[in-house]
Structure 1
């Protein structure tokens, strides 16, 4: 048995998992869904009132219904609490399935409803107004620890900039056979969302979210990345009215800065037109930049915004006492535009309103209308769709070595590492490395023409020892320094030790095959816990080191001593009886009657012995199971050796035992030098073999 808290139905034993419901997601139109556990809670309106969430409470009126559904048919109990003491208490909440759901000791502030065997649905109805503070659904998982599908990996990485020709998004999942669903509007994906089948292209900024599902496993966590789509093109500073062409696109920028990021025309303090000014070029404005299209009107120009907050509207200055720029679907103001040789643009609306001059307010970082003062502005005209110089490609390897390349032959590369936009005055490119998380930007020049700017955030994981990793539990990817010695590997499961008392289970797609005694110089990964067991998730293995020799398990003869060993400790239990086998679960019992829970991971390729009338030496790892409120220690076996017969020694023969060399074996049959670590060993001399406990 693997849990401290169990439910028994029809002679079967189930592990209980409590799922806390997000009450804020429940309304008359929406449901609260826990995708990891397959639970959905909906409200059914039976009265004229509306179910709603406020002040930390879900409020139901008389006659409103509440339904809990499980895709796994495994609901066993639903528990509610309320902070109300006199009215609107839980007394008004009753089961809508009399004879199926039974209440247990309900009070005004605590109500439990349970069933005799797992079901797919609970439903309730209110006989009076009820206010609920918490709701917990208890599910039975059949006595097994259900694994969770690996979180999808979306590429390019979060924060990447996309552009035409560099806008393909791929989604992968390390769990074989999993199906991925995704959205591109920032909403949480469900199985009703688009199913991922092939890479796709984005043509605008987007937040992509993805989740993966597989039968028999919990749905994955939701992965999320946000991209900025850059409109490629070459933009030139307007230095004469002759460059103003009806129908062409222009960007308004602040003239006084060599580089001004995020300057914007704003409608009531919301961005309408944004620009990035760099020298005489605008570098890859995003799709959030609103283009101003010039429309000829008599002796002036109407300024039509083609996207952003004011897309399709014409700019004008509405009132004297406000300096906001507004938009209207019809032309309300015409502007005159005068441009100096230095590129300073004077844009004035020909209206009676005194605040008619578009200027840049540096303190507010916005463009508005003024009667005087503020800063000069400039206009940039889009003169071509793309540059003749290819955008550089920045690549960083696992050692944080950075390389930059460009497909344009003869182009010169320059880069920055401080987040600033690169120019031909920046650092000339040579291969380099970084020792901390760094934003690298690169640009290519061929003569006077330049490429678009490429950007890559090189994330350098923090470095720490295995002991620090287990103590600090870092949520982000880190580098765990070695040497680390492999104890055991089976597919995606690998145990390693630092040789100083710290062990960890690495879970994920390991890129090679390792055996006991192999060493790694380091591991990349992030801290995770599966049902309370510490893991290094998503491991990326560093180079191999010199083999350290086989790691031998410590021997435990009394199961009463098990609790003093750290999780993931490598042990041999001996010898123990095996009983209560149900699927992957069993109970081990030593000669003194001490017991210990066992959970056999079917992914390790081992099974409990068929003959449970004899005792076994069991080698494996200490583990734990937690259902969120109760914790049970357990043991994960990787091998079984019959106490009486199996020693791993194939044949022993000698005419003269006294003259034969003494040879030592572990209880699992592995030959070792003269043992120095406490444990159970087999000593062989000629035809004689005896068990020795050190």
Structure 2
């Protein structure tokens, strides 16, 4: 009766709402959801019962469904619970699961909910022919599926597969609907790719009711794949790759050349280094253990790309300066080392270095372009940073003055050097080499005794070095050789007055090449104002010849003097016999003689003998005679004194003592 009354009231309410919709010209005040929301609800008790229970149930899932409404779901571990449902026809299902979330029982029932509905009992049926395996294994992180399979000759194979948390190492798996009898059971633990890493076989005797239970530690079948300590990828620093496996006693083999590894590949014993910017390496590894299937090959590819050091900057970056200037070089990469050049060349790690943010000093005069790179371990070298033009313009030291001036000198010279820049130091050389600050420091005058080239520079801090001053000195202290005065006339020209010269030829020579000879004939001292000798010349009267030789850069020679006298004596004589004096005849040191001999021209007691038969003007003469006695030689009797006579005197020497009565 209550159910009928409730149904009538519900129908009446629906009719009223429909009429209101029509009256309003089709304007809907309530949609169908609004109608459902306004339907009355009823809380009812749900009780779960079964004829018998041979398997423990850990939880129940109760689901109530009704057309047009959302499902109502309740999870509970109790056999009694409550549901709040709207009026109408509902289907209520119950599913019971054990602690492994395996469905062990289920049931359902249709229920009409109205004001008179307060409870409902739902019977559940338990699965029969159950097999349970409590499994375990020793390596986590691999197994994600457990599969149990029962086979029996002449019967259909049955199996069940469940998903498990990869972190678990144990659990239970169930298999139902096995007919009573003996079954061969295989339990397999698999990874996500269905590779069987563990398994166990056993025999299960199944009863119609009840649950056959087995507890087994599963046996490992496949070596676990190597685990890389660092995942493959691109890194900004060097990497050290460690390999490991959870398979006890197994070995890991690897390659880095892209080939698949085998037991003949490199045995892993220590971490693998992947180092150096730009390095790429693909590592493939496999786990191998006797009695187990080798693991799958694990491949990881690595690339090392260091970050770049920040390019250096400069302060000041450019400019013109009149003194030494510090340039600070900085990279934004902390801890970087700066390598630099100042000549515009591209720097390398072999170039001079300073710490980041330090300064270099540009001290020499000139124009600089500073270039630098930043270098740090674990980073790629920076791009080259370049300053602008930095110019250091020092004033120049005055060029030293060397005195005396360059030239040729005939005596040692005292050298002095001065500089117009106060406080400058002077460095000099005397061998023609360009001086520098390693040369001799000038401290006072010095003497040059031989030819030399003196060069000097002036140096002062804050100034450019001066230009090089240079003087060349030629010093000749050896005098020009003394001239030699001689005659080219033959000492004896023969008998007869027609053969005898009335003049003689004078020649003057000097052994010093390039010298000039000046001479006088009047006995005066010669100089460069005297007559310049250019060729032989003749004299016809008594002369005193004086000569001097000169050459630029050399001391003048000593003066050479020779006196030429023109004297005449006529001698009439004859041969008095062997061993006596010869004054006429043939033989003797002067060839054939004849009567009426005379001598003409003498110089330095060297005589020119000639024949002549004329009478000359009066004068004096010196005379030497020769005689034969075991060879021709001057007669000592006539050499003891300087004999003189008067020109033009004729003397006849007779036989007997020598030449008594001669006019000397």
Which structure is larger by alpha-carbon Rg, 1 or 2?
2
As a proportion of its length, which structure holds more strand?
1
Flag the structure with more relative contact order, 1 or 2, with Cα contacts below 8 A and sequence separation at least 6. Answer: 1
